[in-house]
Structure 1
Amino acid sequence: MTAVGTPPASAPRAAAAATRRSRRTTAPGGRGREALTGYLFIAPAVILFAVLGLYTVGYGFLLGFARWNGFAPHWDWVGLDNYADLLWRDPVYAPRVREAAVNTLYVMIAVPVLTVAVSFPLAVALDRVKRAQAVLRSVYFLPYVTSGIAVFYAWQYILQPDGAVNYLLGVLGLGSLQEPQGFLGNPATALPTMIVVTVWTEVPVAMLMYLTGLQTIDRGLLEAAELDGAGWWRVQAAVVWPLLRPITAIVVLLTLRSALHGFQTFLIMTNGGPGTHTNVLGLETYRLAFLSKFAPTLGLASALGWLLFAVAILLALINLRALRSRV
């Protein structure tokens, strides 16, 4: 009979077996087998990334220094000539790239500013709504999850000369604001209209990010500011807005990326027209790669793509530096 509090005789044997198993698993050979098993599991993903990622990136980078039409068995190595042709030397490509760069700069300035100006007040208003908040949030987020091509064609339809926008302006007695050529057919209104459509697609994500940030703010800070005599506007400007500065930096970075690289909206709705008034760098890269009448231009398209990548990296570093300096 075993005394109370005395471990059974089998306990030392079980502890010794557990120790031996632990030693086997922690031995150098055991660790090596575990590491090999882990490497075998991740090997397919690594190989796929190397083939579709690193190889593609490296191939595109080298293509920027060559002249190739996509069909010839060999490249013609031209060094930095593609970059020189795009930036200043070629009388055909350089003017188009400069005009596209100016249009892209307008988009890069207007889209982040307007997105923040619309999404932040919208998030503040939605945060104050207690009833049907989930429904309203879904409604505001709908433009982001709707099929892009269908939405862009719908915008193109309502912006036509006989579209809904001109009709609504006529009904409201604002016929002087109507556009007989359509808002996308008038060179003076085409680019601003495309900026508005781009902002419309960017606002849902930015609004949701701001709303998430608002719901994480300590309500005690807001109550303390109100007790100190700060009104609602003062609280938003002096307390809420500074606390959401990191989210603003992320929103600006995302919208800058979309404005710099995005071209699907411009391709579907205007194809750079009228003339070249809505031609942006992303669309120009696509044209050089697939739609150029002057062959071969795949090297030029790759060079322009890497220039856009360099600008995107530079903007990201500036944004990160500005964010760190304010934290």
Structure 2
Amino acid sequence: MSAATTVQRPPRERRATRGRTRYHRSEVAWGAAFVAPAIVLFAVMGVYTIGYGVSLSFATWNGFTPNWTWVGLHNYADLLWASPTYAPVVHQAALNTLWVMIAVPILTVLVSFPLALLLNSVGRMRTVLRSVYFLPYVTAGIAVYFAWQYILEPDGAINLLLRSLGLGSLQQPQGFLGNPSTALPTLIVVTVWSSVPVSMLLYLAGLQSVDSTLIEAAQIDGAGWWRITRNVLWPLLKPITGIIVLLNLRDSLQGFQTFLIMTNGGPGNHTNVLGLEAYRLAFLSQLSPTLGLSSALGWLLFIAAVILAVITQRAMRRAT
């Protein structure tokens, strides 16, 4: 018998192998049948929508006519430099967005981290205070923004409070949202107020997961509260800080609900941001057709968000 002769398996073993193979194929078929609706839904609502949006960014369309007009990269050029109508507005919106992207993450960290330290040091009232601080996040956004409008108007609560404290020189007769010099900073404060709850809870979860022996060792070495916070707790919470910064950068770059409801970009485009400008081009522009411009601006925002995510991720890796 040659060495190449194969050993024949018993018939019972061959039948068992074929049975396992059929069973495996049956499992795969049933799994594919259950997953197929989700895949089809994603293909229709996801892939098709994305492709549709990309195609629209290279065309002009008013949303009603059956045909598009293909213009190539002209939409992107008009938004960035070519059009004297759209480019200056986009540049102003980009500058406002940049200010928001710088101020909101920094202020959110500066407010939420001390609040988390305070809540972590509280014993009995921690649950109640945590619920109180988290209330702005779970409250209906539109109702809250209208309440802020009422507070910030010329006869609102803030002007009344300043008047009662003898700080009448700080009042805004046209309201904090009607003054070009105070409108954008005011909206930044409102945005920070709405983003602090989640950031505070993230910091609080991080503080509660810190090994208590590290703090005890620092106390034994004579470190006070400030040095423990700066040299022990803050370095351990750097990954959480990176996540908070990234989330706020994303919301600052793409979010516009606060600006739409409270000012709609006014006064005089002083609070117009890129997300709001894309919305206005799509639904509020009197110049037709601008849906292609809106789609192009949306994809520019997407590219900027991806770049920011990559930069932030690399910065976090270097920090850790």
Scaled by the length of structure 2, the TM-score of the pair is 0.94
**In the alignment, what sits opposite 2:25?**
32
Measure, in 2, the Cα distance between the counterparts of 1:25 and 1:96. Answer: 69
Q: CA deviation at 1:106?
A: 0.3
Q: CA deviation at 1:158?
A: 0.4
* Pair 1:222 & 2:215 matched: yes
Q: Secondary structure at the match of 1:27?
A: helix
Structure 2 gaps, min length 5: 1-11
**In the alignment, what sits opposite 1:153?**
146
Q: Secondary structure at the match of 2:298?
A: helix
1:34 to 1:90, Cα distance in 2 relative to 1, 3 A: same
Measure, in 2, the Cα distance between the counterparts of 1:191 and 1:112. Answer: 15
* Pair 1:129 & 2:130 matched: no
The one-character-per-residue Cα deviations of 1:114-159 (angstroms, maximum 9, x if unpaired) are 0000000000000000012111101100000000000000000000
The letter for the 2-side match of 1:49 is: F
* Pair 1:199 & 2:203 matched: no
Q: CA deviation at 1:54?
A: 1.1
The letter for the 2-side match of 1:142 is: L
Measure, in 1, the Cα distance between the counterparts of 2:125 and 2:32. Answer: 49
The letter for the 1-side match of 2:142 is: I
Q: CA deviation at 1:325?
A: 1.1
The one-character-per-residue Cα deviations of 1:85-107 (angstroms, maximum 9, x if unpaired) are 00000000000000000000000
Asked if 2 retains the 8 angstrom alpha-carbon contact of 1:25 and 1:31, the reply is no
**In the alignment, what sits opposite 1:252?**
245
The one-character-per-residue Cα deviations of 1:284-314 (angstroms, maximum 9, x if unpaired) are 0000001111110000000000000000000
The letter for the 2-side match of 1:269 is: M
Q: CA deviation at 1:45?
A: 1.2
Q: CA deviation at 1:25?
A: 9.2
Match of 2:46 among 39, 46, 53: 53
Measure, in 2, the Cα distance between the counterparts of 1:225 and 1:185. Answer: 51
The letter for the 1-side match of 2:307 is: L
Identity %: 67
Q: Secondary structure at the match of 1:307?
A: helix
Aligned-residue CA RMSD (Å): 1.4
**In the alignment, what sits opposite 2:164?**
171
Measure, in 2, the Cα distance between the counterparts of 1:106 and 1:23. Answer: 69
Q: Secondary structure at the match of 2:315?
A: helix
Scaled by the length of structure 1, the TM-score of the pair is 0.92
Q: Secondary structure at the match of 2:288?
A: coil
Aligned length: 308
Q: Secondary structure at the match of 2:181?
A: helix
Q: CA deviation at 1:23?
A: 4.5
**In the alignment, what sits opposite 1:13?**
none
Structure 1 outlier segments of 4+, above 4 Å:
22-26
**In the alignment, what sits opposite 1:322?**
315
* Pair 1:212 & 2:205 matched: yes
* Pair 1:91 & 2:84 matched: yes
